[in-house]
Amino acid sequence: MKKLFPYSFLTFAFLLISISSFSSPGKETKSAELSHPKLVVGIVVDQMRWDYLYRFYDRFGDDGFKRMINQGFNANNTNIDYVPTVTAIGHSTVYTGSVPSIHGIAGNDFIINATGETMYCTGDKTVKTVGSTSDAGEMSPRNLLTTTITDELQLATNFRSKVIGVALKDRGSILPAGHSADAAYWFDGESGNFITSTYYMEKLPRWVDDFNKQNLVEKYLNQGWKTLYPIKSYVQSSADDNRYEGKFKGADRPVFPINTAELYKTSGAGIIRSTPYGNTLSIEMAKAAVEHENLGKNVVSDFLALSLSSTDYVGHQFGPNAIETEDTYLRLDKDLGEFFNYLDKKVGVGEYTVFLTADHGGAHNINFLKDNNIPANPWATGKILTELNNVLQAKFGAEKIILSLMNYQAHLNHKLISEKKLDIEAIKLAAIEFLSKQEGVTYVVDMEKVQMASIPKLLRERIINGYNRLRSGEIQIILNPGWYGSGSANPTGTSHSAWNPYDSHIPLIFMGWGVNPGKTSRPTHMTDIAATLAALLNVQQPNGCIGEPILEALK
């Protein structure tokens, strides 16, 4: 009994103290307020391959990419969860934590199967352009079927959070900002201005008008584009002037220095997209949004969704191994460093959270691979579509049974098939038989029967995730590694859309408030980004989210 008495006494005493503390109103303990970042900044670098982080690491300064890598949490093995890997789907998936089969953005463009109508991902004829006389503002997020992490932040704070989207591309601004954004701004190449649509407002805020009046496009392009460092130091890239790179219109060769002032005169403001100055312009617009919208000064978290689009334009034109591409990333590194330093002063060091990722990667140029004895070839999409329809017409007696091979998917003409009372299963079998015999094709899969297809599990999952039955083609085509669709036998630059690591392995780094510095090489997914942000912000995950929080990244 002596051994039990002290324990019983202590227990009794603890209970008395506990009861006393709960029953004495005057001694009630005040609960600590739930902390949160003042501002979340989401950065999507369009067409940024994961390996660029390390390919150019030694050339980066200390304040941009290196700062994120060394001070943040680096998820080194993050992959995209679906095919096709394109811009609109990537931005949608990053911010929804979902996939095309659920969030509905099945491509940059996709076909509504019920009508055969081609739909642009953010196209919306019910709204009008604000800030320009062009039709570039007839856009909204209405085609997106789920909420975004930005929507969920708004819902969690009773819409007291301020959410702004900024990008050159409309889809890079609109889809991340979500349905309930305060504003989304994108670049109009016709006017050279940042614009929006009546979905958000009836007229531009004064600060946006003032920003546009600076005419930064002309200022930047009049500087010309020469390499940031001596051109001989670009040892990570192919020599300047080669057959892998595309030329600017009117230029004799794709070489430095590039007379961007002359390009501006002949091609207009839109040419800035294909130079590193497009990223500079976007970041300056983002700074202006922080400044004039007082982002990070709220009692709740605000959110800035920034997409950097010029890397995609430069990549498509010049390819991953061009000096132009390397120089674009070195200049972007400097711009990011200045942006982070600005946020340090404006919002506060450690007071904001930033993440950086990509919407997709990009393949090596086909001729570059072939010249280095690596298998690759162009796939003549248009020619194959014509031949396929000729075969089907001979068998079923109707023209253009296949509407498109867009997104490496065969889209059936359902209206025609219904009118002619054709056998859809027989058509699919005939199309699969034809496509399977084409050079460069690894697999051809009936979307409705993908579970039974004899293909690797990873491909099966990505095909299922990418298939939206109302907006996707009924047949998925998987090409050999290194192959991609082209209208040319000798394509310049690059493309993307495939499942392969060069298109699907993306960077993902978190830095700042609430982030636990470190890294992981375990498999993580694009769909995990929104789930991780929801955990960081203590808000509900988006309503179509299938990802999981990357717990190692969070304090």
Q: For residue range 351-390, list pLDDT tens digits in order.
A: 999 999 999 999 999 999 999 999 999 999 999 999 999 9
Considering the domain boundaries, does residue 493 fall inside one?
Answer: no
* Structure-token match 């050999």, residue found: 480
The Cα-based distances of 522 to 75, 95, 235, 526 in angstroms read 8, 21, 31, 13
pLDDT score of 163: 99
Catalytic-role residue among 78, 87, 311, 357 = 87
Statement to judge: residues 444 and 522 lie in one domain: no
331 Cβ contact partners less than 8 Å away, ≥ 6 residues apart: 228, 276, 279, 280
pLDDT score of 17: 37
pLDDT score of 33: 52
Whether 126 is catalytic is no
Considering the domain boundaries, does residue 272 fall inside one?
Answer: yes
Strands, E assignment, 95-175: 109-112, 117-120, 129-130, 163-166
**Number of independent structural domains in the chain:** 2
- Ranges of the chain with pLDDT below 50: 1-32
Statement to judge: residues 414 and 434 lie in one domain: yes
pLDDT score of 30: 36
211: amino acid identity, one letter: F
Strands, E assignment, 223-316: 302-308
Statement to judge: residues 241 and 152 lie in one domain: yes
Statement to judge: residues 174 and 286 lie in one domain: yes
Q: Give the CATH number for residue 388.
A: 3.30.1360.150
pLDDT more than 70, % of the chain: 94
Domain-ending residue, one of 460, 485, 510: 485
Statement to judge: residues 383 and 444 lie in one domain: yes
Considering the domain boundaries, does residue 339 fall inside one?
Answer: yes
pLDDT score of 31: 37
Parallel, antiparallel or unpaired: strands 78-79 and 505-506: antiparallel
Statement to judge: residues 290 and 334 lie in one domain: yes
Domain that holds residue 330: 42-113+140-181+216-365+499-553
81 CA to centre of own chain: 13
Statement to judge: residues 359 and 382 lie in one domain: no
180 Cβ contact partners less than 8 Å away, ≥ 6 residues apart: 150, 151, 154, 155, 159, 163
